[in-house]
Amino acid sequence: MELRQLRYFLAVVEEANFTRAAARLHLAQPGVSAQIRQLERELGQPLLDRSGRTVTTTAVGEAVLPFARAALAAVEGMRLTVDEFAGLVRGQVTVGLVSGAAAADEFDVAAALADFHDDHPHVEISLTDDTSERMLAALRRGELDLAVIGLAEEEPPQGVGLQVLVDVPLVAAMAADDPLLTALEGRATLPLAALAGRPLISLPRGTGLRGVLERACTQAGFRPHVAFEAAVPHVLARLAARGLGVAVLPDPPLGAADALGLRTLPLAEPALRGRVALAWPADGPAAPAAAALLARMRKAFPEVRPEVRPDVRPVVGPPPPYGRMGP
């Protein structure tokens, strides 16, 4: 008995026709018929009824069908196991990106995915762009294998493991002639309460930065008036530069604000920080392909520490274990 005979037998059963089965297998029909007859002779019983317009299984054929399927499935499982040990990972990985993450300067997700695909061409990668809230829920439900999310709370969310990729102070950015600058009389920081009643420019609801802003304003006793939303920080900065409001965004690189004619002030009372993290299910991805991609991304994007300046990459040791949040 040969595996190809079982494969031909299953194809004929599923197609109910020798000609269609042969076409599906890219073989000549007489060769498929000959191999199945050889299988029947070896077993001593007919497996297929060829008397009607369609081919059906005999009672014996119906009884052995589950064993044929199991044998072929076992062989495929063996192949996958060997491929994993050989580094030939196969399968599908679902990855989520918070809106604007693909354009981030701090980490190049597109390059990491492309490099992984070059090394594992048999892995299919599905990429989705969504809010952090929805992606956290999808991670917990098992609908995403890993995601790059913004963190709204100081405490790590339940049910996921995290590796913080970005941890930067949030600033208020406004046009150089904004009356708020005059009212502050040269202060080096901007109290959060000064934004009460002001038109604000922020990332959309459901993102980590927006969550940080709303939580802090609630604690300060007012509801933020968000007049404009955009998915990426540089668009927020451009809107603020045109005098449409005060943008709350990560501290831009040196010179970037001046180039747009913006003035930035660190937010204080309280100080706010924007954090972006790589997240995965707390128990780790179940599929080997997802586990391999997670390991690659954790190595490509080292965890950052809050005390490190955002324009300096820290030198860190090996990534922390699954499910552990860095300090």
Q: Is there a single domain that holds both residue 14 and residue 152?
A: no
Q: Is there a single domain that holds both residue 159 and residue 288?
A: yes
Lowest pLDDT segment from 68-77, 200-209, 302-311: 302-311
Tell whether the model's pLDDT for residue 213 goes beyond 90: yes
Whole-prediction pTM: 0.64
Q: Is there a single domain that holds both residue 247 and residue 284?
A: no
Domain assignment present for 242: yes
Which of 34, 66, 85 is the last residue in one of the domains?
85
The whole-number pLDDT of residue 324 equals 29
String of DSSP letters for 31-71: HHHHHHHHHHHHHTS--EE-SSSS-EE-HHHHHHHHHHHHH
Tell whether the model's pLDDT for residue 196 goes beyond 50: yes
Q: Is there a single domain that holds both residue 183 and residue 239?
A: yes
Query: What secondary structure, in 3-state letters, does 203-230 show?
Result: CCCCCHHHHHHHHHHHHHCCCCEEEEEC
Domain assignment present for 266: yes
CATH code where residue 139 lies: 3.40.190.10
Q: How many domains does the chain have?
A: 3
Compare 153 and 95 and report the one with higher pLDDT.
95
The domain of 146 spans 91-165+277-300
Tell whether the model's pLDDT for residue 259 goes beyond 90: no
104 pLDDT tier (thresholds 50, 70, 90): low
